[in-house]
Structure 1
């Protein structure tokens, strides 16, 4: 345990007396919560780690508590840290996680295991582990299929499938290699209540099977498995759901939850030196983008808003970007981001030249992360094949695409034997396979329906998403001002 002792001495230079006192109180609460009081080292604790600034601080906090228990009792719990990776996280996230683990002397400590979850694949974390192509393909497919149903609404396109995948990673990590006793969370009581209400709300929307009360975390996972099954049936069709779209809920044992929210503060400004100096956390130009998580997708959300203004609404790319930036900076303020981080994000889009740089960066990231061209992003914005090709004629005309709309309708209705050349052209335009195009064609577009209450579950998810706003925008096609929903993170 010499490495743990060294880490404790080093980290305390960056902790105030108030924080240390609070950590000691948290350690006392945690030790009382451990199920095996006779042998503390027989308890296994799970902590999810996304690689962002807040979750990096949580790792440091829990690692410090692990050290406190060892100093005071001569033994400590075993810690499992799991990271759920997706295509929106680039190599710099892995680099940050690696630096955090090195600073906290985790790699050589037998009392800590670090897991990396790529879809259904669970491996010990290693800095240069490549993401499996199958995971990247699944993430790409999820973005496209959600985007073509929701007309590229930011949250629905990038977050719905990703959120369900994240929940599944909790189940996988909690079940792996004999399971865990406790899951540590930093969510406030209000956030925990909101999560439960969200799960119950989704279960009602999708008529998911009821789970008997008292089943704890595994019951929560089972509820969301029912939601996931029905959600992806709407998106892909019931016969096209992959195992990666389901949620693991049959756990080795049902863990308890332990909340550290009351003991620690998350405002990054209060532990900036700990993050930047001790743990060498670095804010990447792509991965730090409006969100508390390290993920490049918010940069794409802004980019798509710009492309939407430029193409669908026939305005300018910059106008669409500025709409998103105003909205997203407001979200950052609501989440108590340090002022200098908000200012840094604002500076990235401060004028036309800065916006042009960000546009190039987002274009390249779309290709690198998801294999999506600008042409395919624009196609997703129009969603021309969904709802029986409702927007097909306008899309073909506005984008100057010389393909017969009648031929596309006949192909997607199944009236003709698939024409390989036409299928290839549509795949290049959209990124979708022929079967995915047919699935979109058979199903309605999802909208927020500002003027009336939606009845289908997908539209209701969009309507009740909390991370959105209603804004007034100029529509260059109609030469008028209209109300629109903008969402993001």
Structure 2
């Protein structure tokens, strides 16, 4: 017996007439799209769930549609919900997800399947499911290698590898235990078309094979697998490529896409009571981080901006933070965040004392999530090992690091094997000797300000939409310089 009857009674009072009407229309469309309309329970529908405010509403909306069909037909589809987990999601995200599942009566319901993807591992959701240490280490390596190669650009450091991992989790969840028939998305048809165009554009940039269009979602995944293979080979070196860097694309069956974009509004304010009262969603101090409500990385992006101002630009930490806050609050406005949440975020950085508290919080989180110290983040900002040590002297001098530059050059050029020096550099950078040597042989990625480049990584950075060009003071030059700022 399923739990839909109880859930439908309890949720009804939290839904506006407009939401109820749109859900009814959406259920009719979904019913018509299901491949087996005679035996509805034979249809398996997949929904990705990040654990944030918008995706929590999506889960509630689709669960409600599942209930509408059950009430009208006496049978309904099976719903699979999958969460891709990473190191920047703390326990409060799992707590929110658990409360949402409890509120929607999804635990122990044969018509609901709740999954967690950790790297290449996919398991049933459990409130205190430990994250594999291998996944945390993979995420740490991705942050380090992307961070150094992109010279601590915020989005590239934290999002590039994570975005490809998210695509892989789609493939894993769509293939798991016999596969799914339908994937539900909140993206508009135009956005879906843009994703396909983006995948094909990346494949051309990286000279990766493009799958036949007739292969549908499997082909989309296959195309991005070729991109991921070449991207991570460039970032890490061919000998450091792991199965976790690839994208699952051989699916048990090829699912259809069904979008609910036109059926419901995404602004949290439009369904605040459903979110905060019925599902008991809570905005954690770390996971609610600028335009994200399920990821602490934007707090680290702001922290990097502050450290950059303090070290590389010879200004002060608070100036860099205020630059990021202005930029990121603008993103929140564009994403239709409720005014009270924008005000709450602004208050966290309202004065120097508040900024200092946030600095400590960010530093603690960097260690907890990625085992990265402040010195190691500062090293990433200088990216001293790239291009045969182009910024090595600058880093050593400015940070007053008492190491022999010539000895470092000999070590990273493989003219020596000084284990003690290698350990000191690992302590300062967080990187292994192999990783430092790969950076030594690699060029920095050109930014928007460096002019056009044929390098695929530079093109990826250039076309990232969440960035702005700003004017900042440079303390050492005693002049104004132009910089690119990016973030979430």
Task: Classify the TM-score, shorter chain.
Answer: over 0.9
Q: What is residue 57 of structure 2 aligned with on the other side?
A: 57
| 3-state secondary structure, aligned to 1:126 | coil
Q: What is residue 188 of structure 2 aligned with on the other side?
A: 188
Give how far 1:75 is off: 0.2
Q: What is residue 461 of structure 1 aligned with on the other side?
A: 460
Q: Indicate how the Cα distance of structure 1 residues 358 and 39 shifts in structure 2: closer, same or farther if over 3 A, else same.
A: same
Counterpart contact for 2:292–2:298, Cα < 8 Å: no
Kindly report which structure 2 residues correspond to 1:130-145, keeping only aligned pairs within 5 A, or say none. 130-145=130-145
| 3-state secondary structure, aligned to 2:280 | coil
Q: What is residue 426 of structure 1 aligned with on the other side?
A: 425
CA distance in 1 between partners of 2:173 and 2:270 (Å): 30
Q: Does 1:113 align with 2:113?
A: yes
CA distance in 2 between partners of 1:321 and 1:410 (Å): 37
Give how far 1:404 is off: 0.6
Q: Which runs of 5+ in 2 are unaligned?
A: none
Kindly report which structure 2 residues correspond to 1:26-425, keeping only aligned pairs within 5 A, or say none. 26-416=26-416, 418-425=417-424
Give how far 1:108 is off: 2.1
| 3-state secondary structure, aligned to 1:266 | coil
Counterpart contact for 1:50–1:293, Cα < 8 Å: no
Q: What is residue 446 of structure 1 aligned with on the other side?
A: 445
RMSD, aligned α-carbons: 0.8
Q: Which runs of 5+ in 1 are unaligned?
A: none
Give how far 1:447 is off: 2.4
Counterpart contact for 2:44–2:182, Cα < 8 Å: yes
Cα distance per residue 1:84-128 (max 9 Å; x no partner): 000000000000000000000000211111000000011100000
CA distance in 2 between partners of 1:312 and 1:339 (Å): 34
Counterpart contact for 1:54–1:292, Cα < 8 Å: no
CA distance in 2 between partners of 1:336 and 1:462 (Å): 25
CA distance in 2 between partners of 1:394 and 1:353 (Å): 31
| 3-state secondary structure, aligned to 2:80 | strand
Q: Does 1:482 align with 2:481?
A: yes
CA distance in 2 between partners of 1:32 and 1:92 (Å): 38
CA distance in 2 between partners of 1:440 and 1:233 (Å): 12
Counterpart contact for 1:448–1:454, Cα < 8 Å: no
CA distance in 2 between partners of 1:292 and 1:252 (Å): 33
Q: What is residue 437 of structure 1 aligned with on the other side?
A: 436
Cα distance per residue 1:412-470 (max 9 Å; x no partner): 01112x11100100000000000000000000011214242111011111111101010
CA distance in 2 between partners of 1:87 and 1:350 (Å): 28
Give how far 1:293 is off: 4.5
CA distance in 2 between partners of 1:8 and 1:463 (Å): 47
Counterpart contact for 1:54–1:268, Cα < 8 Å: yes
| 3-state secondary structure, aligned to 2:364 | helix
Give how far 1:189 is off: 2.3
CA distance in 2 between partners of 1:271 and 1:464 (Å): 33
Counterpart contact for 2:180–2:253, Cα < 8 Å: yes
CA distance in 2 between partners of 1:156 and 1:380 (Å): 12
Counterpart contact for 1:151–1:445, Cα < 8 Å: yes
| 3-state secondary structure, aligned to 1:214 | helix
| 3-state secondary structure, aligned to 2:213 | coil
Q: Indicate how the Cα distance of structure 1 residues 385 and 2 shifts in structure 2: closer, same or farther if over 3 A, else same.
A: closer
Count the aligned residue pairs. Answer: 488
Cα distance per residue 1:261-289 (max 9 Å; x no partner): 11111110000000000000000000001
Q: TM-score, normalised by structure 2?
A: 0.99
Counterpart contact for 2:186–2:261, Cα < 8 Å: yes
| 3-state secondary structure, aligned to 2:214 | coil
CA distance in 2 between partners of 1:473 and 1:214 (Å): 49
Q: Indicate how the Cα distance of structure 1 residues 62 and 110 shifts in structure 2: closer, same or farther if over 3 A, else same.
A: same
Q: TM-score, normalised by structure 1?
A: 0.99
Give how far 1:292 is off: 3.6
